[in-house]
Structure 1
Amino acid sequence: MKPLLLPLATVAAAVCLLAGPTPASAQAAPPAARATLRDAAGQTAGEARFTETAQGLSLDIEVRGLSPGQHGFHIHQHGECAPGPDAATGKIVPFGAAGPHFDPLHSRNHGHPSQPPAEAHGGDLPNLVVGADGRARLQAERPGIGLKPGPASVLGRTLVVHELPDDYRSDPAGNSGPRLLCGMIELAGEPPAGARHTFPGSNVFPEGIAVDETSGTAYVGSAAEGHLYKLEPGQPRAELLSLGGSPGRRAALGIRLDAHRRLWVAGGAEGTVALVDAASGRTLAVLKTPHSPHAFINDLALSADGHAYVTDSFRPVLFRARNVVDQPTQLEPWLDLGRTPIRYVSGETNLNGIVATPDGRYLLAMQSATGQLWRIDTRSQAVQPVQLDATLPHGDGLVLQGRELYVVRNVENEIVRVSLEPDYARGRVAQRLSSSRLRYPTTAALVRGQLQIVNSQLDKQKNPPPLLPFDVIQLPAP
């Protein structure tokens, strides 16, 4: 989690599993993307290919199985080809979740594709002309939009083909009728997407995740609203479990699930941890820290020694509470970090993600501001830096599987696998995973060899706006 806005990072051009740096030639290659177009029944009916040019976006589209004549098609704002409300009628229609036309410069005007994006939607494109055989192919260029990271990027958005021709005049969609085909625009070379869960709403900014390893059910919190969501295997849409906004849960950051079926939820600036029943969503208790205008409870770890350990990114204190049924209402200031080698950087995110080793002997905590990983002895309270062959600035959530530690780096849109020595005091970067599907990830959970990764988009809290819908994606663990 980052409480302060940070600059948007460069997104890698494809999924990469690397033991070292990417060759310069690969970095210089112009990005290319694709969209597989499917009808409402899920049948493939075409493909579009995209390349970045000096003028903007070059597009080559082929479709089949359509009625002869002209068909409008456009790049749409949202990254989901699911049913959703029609803007004019409010009725649920095929591909309504793709939203309105992509309009990166906020022209608020439907127009001709020859117009610059400042005067018309950047997603407005020429009509397709379908022949008697039901097929069409079109090559076109659209200036002002592209594939590189930034507000004008079409990556993660959708391409939609309509039933009628676009008249290039009528707002908001050129009177082009129902949506027939839809495809998400993704970088060429990406492997097929794994499971994806999406969230309703435009202000979710999901942050933490906990997974029931038995059922595969995941629980995710909203950093902006404090809501808790339940993600069931095989269900693409997240289900609201509990509304946020109550004292103790105006924000929901790091989350853990304990053996009593309680969710421990870090409350950020409130300086609290809420305990929530995972079945009903009812708040069972609110654990408090001493009041401070500088509090930021960020993440927590449930340890085999019977305690929960809690990081505060602004105050140099590690808090602790007993993990028992009759829960105390206070978090104990267990370790004064000012008396350890850890030095907090003023105004930055300090201790953030934290995990406990399987035996509960050690804690591993990431200091986002410096990229330093720390080992904390739960018996002696001794603190020492973990000696790695690389620093990991912007390290956020941590996942520990045996001696393999997965570090989620938010700004870099990267997951790093670190192989640790048996004493957890040393390690090396073994692999790195990056993907165009990562959008300021904050944390992850590992289930059956798959990483469930939370795309927070916390860098989009102001401008540019987030790419909807918010999601949790699944990628193979590197």
Structure 2
Amino acid sequence: MSGVAAMILFNIVSPSMAGSTAQGISFASDQSYPESMTWSARQDTFMVGSVRHGLVAKVDKTGKYTVFVHDARLVSTAGLLVDDKRNTLWVTNSDPGVGDRTGAASKGKLAAVATYDATTGQPRAYYDLGSLSEGTHFANDIALDADGNAYVTDSFAPIVYRIDTAGEAAIFAQDPRFTNGDGFKLNGIAWHKDGYLLVGKYNTGELFRVSIADPRKIDPVKLPEALTGADGIQLIDDQHLIVVQNLGADRTVELVSADGWASATIVRQERSIMSMPTAAAILGDDVYVLNSRLDTLFDPAADKVGDYLLQKL
């Protein structure tokens, strides 16, 4: 398919399903099923991924959906992060088996990261993280530290990867606690300026603090309850963390910690309007949560949908 044809196909927007309301920003696409989102203050727009089409699109504040990156190497775009300072868009590439370009060679094995010029969408670099170890892989979420080093979770392997500013990719942290249980494991990740990562575990609802100076130092954050289905996480500030839960919970909680994330308590929670919330982004004083409706994509019997919501909390 040519680039022009792809733009025509994927930029279909239903006026009745796009717009900004008190509930948030609704938008429509050709059943793209976005799982990830990021906000670019520099460009004044959200960017969202696509589990089904393996692309990146922009969603503006009115709900207008426009394809931005259409790269044939991308099977399912599972994690996005825009670095406005360096004008770089980071995208994780995986294959859960429901994308247009899924295949036996990549399904459950693909773990890669691609970077693009955040203004033009032109490719910059591509990192094959799955080749760093044997077994199944799924590159999920991504975080950046102040220097521009990237950290990536693998949901099928007990690994957090690091891509440094020289472009060298390596296994950064590995722990047997990351691998217990079935299904998706490591998922959301956030960098804290005090020198550690906060990493969520999807199937068990645990939250870990991983030291950047010594990645062997991994401590569980004491929580009032297991946050089962913890997907995307987003720091509001040093002491407040947004955790988006699905897997039946379908809510977003705000955690607060007064002891450097040795422990945390829940200070706010809100139900998702649509099904399967997956990611959050901060825009000024507001938090937006992507209602992905991915449950309907993974259910063979469900009707497929093309309308989604960036829910305003």
Same fold (TM > 0.5)? yes
The answer as to whether partners of 1:221 and 1:255 remain within 8 angstroms in 2 is: yes
- Give identity over the alignment, percent: 27
Q: Distance in 2 between matches of 1:425 and 1:301?
A: 20
CA deviation vs aligned residue, 1:112-155 (integer Å, no higher than 9, x gap): xxxxxxxxxxxxxxxxxxxxxxxxxxxxxxxxxxxxxxxxxxxx
CA deviation vs aligned residue, 1:44-63 (integer Å, no higher than 9, x gap): xxxxxxxxxxxxxxxxxxxx
Q: What are the within-5 Å matches in structure 2 for residues 391-406 of structure 1?
A: 391-402=226-237, 403-406=239-242
Q: Distance in 2 between matches of 1:282 and 1:214?
A: 17
The answer as to whether partners of 1:452 and 1:472 remain within 8 angstroms in 2 is: no
CA deviation vs aligned residue, 1:287-316 (integer Å, no higher than 9, x gap): 112434511000111012541111001111
Please, what is the CA RMSD of the aligned residues?
Answer: 2.2
The answer as to whether partners of 1:399 and 1:406 remain within 8 angstroms in 2 is: yes
Give the aligned partner of residue 59 of structure 2. Answer: 231
**How many aligned residue pairs are there?**
278
Residue among 162, 187, 196 paired with 1:320: 162
Give the aligned partner of residue 122 of structure 2. Answer: 282
Give the aligned partner of residue 350 of structure 1. Answer: 185
Matched, 1:459 2:299: no
Segments of 5+ residues of structure 1 without an aligned counterpart are 1-80, 84-94, 99-191
Q: Distance in 2 between matches of 1:425 and 1:379?
A: 17
Matched, 1:255 2:58: no
The answer as to whether partners of 2:27 and 2:59 remain within 8 angstroms in 1 is: no
Q: Distance in 2 between matches of 1:215 and 1:366?
A: 29
Seen in structure 2, the aligned counterparts of structure 1 residues 439 and 466 have a Cα distance that, compared at 3 Å, is: farther
Shift of the alpha carbon at 1:193? 3.0
The answer as to whether partners of 2:92 and 2:112 remain within 8 angstroms in 1 is: yes
The answer as to whether partners of 1:313 and 1:351 remain within 8 angstroms in 2 is: yes
Residue among 245, 251, 255 paired with 1:414: 251
Find the residue that maps to 2:35 and give its secondary structure.
Answer: strand
Segments of 5+ residues of structure 2 without an aligned counterpart are 1-12, 96-109
The answer as to whether partners of 2:112 and 2:130 remain within 8 angstroms in 1 is: no
Runs of 4+ in 1 over 6 A off after TM superposition: none
Shift of the alpha carbon at 1:346? 4.9
The answer as to whether partners of 1:390 and 1:429 remain within 8 angstroms in 2 is: no
Give the aligned partner of residue 277 of structure 2. Answer: 441
The answer as to whether partners of 1:344 and 1:350 remain within 8 angstroms in 2 is: yes
Q: Name the TM-score, length of structure 1 as normaliser.
A: 0.55
Shift of the alpha carbon at 1:474? 3.3
Q: Name the TM-score, length of structure 2 as normaliser.
A: 0.82
Give the aligned partner of residue 173 of structure 2. Answer: 335
Give the aligned partner of residue 69 of structure 2. Answer: 242
AA aligned opposite 1:441: P
AA aligned opposite 1:409: Q
Q: Distance in 2 between matches of 1:336 and 1:407?
A: 22
Matched, 1:264 2:102: no
